[in-house]
């Protein structure tokens, strides 16, 4: 299990931040290499994306398999307006099961900005054995960083 926790501040009002974090398709569009987002009637989304595994320790794998496709079903499991939310994603990457849980907490700051704190838990299953836990950790951290940068830009534009 890989865990990442961090927080950042955006120059946007809590209400504006909430309107974006509670819009699943907009949130999912911030992830790198998203190819397709399908919004379902219950508000959840199906997302198809690519993962770059070119840094795998076993070079025989990457000689023909450097970018693999993943599909995830993503849904809110808890929404506490203006305070927090939890997201669950289940799916597969290269045919192996993957699970991700995301918890986000929001806090309004005295200057009108908003603090966004998040915790991610990801279980890459057999991918970690196939490509090595070090590479999987690096991929997850890299994608989380790219997501936060894009997400932050969207949040600040709203404010």
| pLDDT in 10s for each residue of the chain, 159 residues | 889 999 999 999 999 999 999 999 988 988 888 999 999 998 899 999 988 766 555 444 444 456 688 999 999 999 999 999 999 999 998 888 999 999 999 999 999 999 999 999 999 888 888 777 888 888 888 888 888 899 889 988 876
Q: Are 33 and 50 in contact (CB under 8 A)?
A: yes
The parent domain of residue 109 ranges over 2-158
- Helical residues (DSSP H) of 6-132, grouped into ranges: 14-21, 24-28, 59-62, 126-131
Count of domains observed in the chain:
1
Q: How far apart are CA 155 and CA 157, in angstroms?
A: 5
The CATH number for 142's domain is 3.30.530.20
């Amino acid at each position: 299990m890989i865990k990442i926790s961090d927080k950042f501040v955006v120059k946007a009002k809590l209400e504006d931040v909430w309107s974006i974090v509670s819009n699943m398709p907009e949130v999912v569009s911030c992830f790198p290499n998203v190819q397709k987002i399908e919004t379902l009637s219950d508000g959840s989304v199906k997302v198809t994306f690519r993962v770059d595994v070119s840094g795998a320790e076993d070079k025989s794998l990457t000689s023909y398999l450097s970018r693999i496709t993943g599909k995830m079903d993503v849904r809110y499991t808890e929404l506490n307006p203006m305070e927090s939310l939890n997201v669950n994603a289940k799916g597969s990457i290269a045919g192996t099961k993957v699970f991700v849980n995301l918890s986000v907490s929001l806090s309004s700051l005295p200057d009108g900005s908003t603090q966004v704190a998040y915790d991610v838990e990801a279980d890459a299953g057999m991918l970690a054995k196939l490509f090595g836990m070090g590479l999987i950790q690096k991929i997850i951290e890299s994608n989380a960083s790219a997501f936060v940068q894009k997400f932050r830009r969207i949040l600040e534009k709203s404010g």
